[in-house]
Amino acid sequence: MPVRSLTQSVLRWPEPAAVLAQVRTWSARMGAVQPGLQKVGVFGSYGRGQAGVGSDLDLLVVDANASGTQGQRLLIWPLAELPLSCDALVLTPAEHARLLACGSRMAAELQRDTRWLWERPQPSCTCIASP
């Protein structure tokens, strides 16, 4: 949200880099408490790098444990902690893959504009090769 400057009577809109940094921090915190969270990205103006005054945050959350309607899925995510008004889309990995493959306008926009800000680290393989 815009914040009031302590020395002026005007509102300042947060800088895009600061917004993205806060989303990264929020995503890492959510990843620590939501084991199904796979990755978090932004699309729209923040994904394209064109965000400015008045831009909202379009968030893409890929959650392996997501179920129910979009409204129900959003209830577990504390979006009010993010620095701006947020439109979020919560998809399972399979739903995300199907959406990207469907050829819709939304799929094209997500493929073009999504900027991934956080991904769950993949466990490293500690396999021992057989002699």
Flag whether 131 is in a domain: no
Flag whether 16 is in a domain: yes
Flag whether 64 is in a domain: yes
Flag whether 103 is in a domain: yes
**Domain that includes residue 65, residue range:** 11-49+56-119
pLDDT of amino acid 13: 87
Can you state the angle between helices 93-101 and 105-113, rounded to 10 degrees? 110
Q: What is the CATH number of the domain that holds 32?
A: 3.30.460.10
Flag whether 71 is in a domain: yes
Flag whether 128 is in a domain: no
- Counted domains in the chain: 1
Flag whether 2 is in a domain: no
Give tens-digit pLDDT for 34-75: 999 999 999 999 999 999 999 999 999 999 999 999 999 999
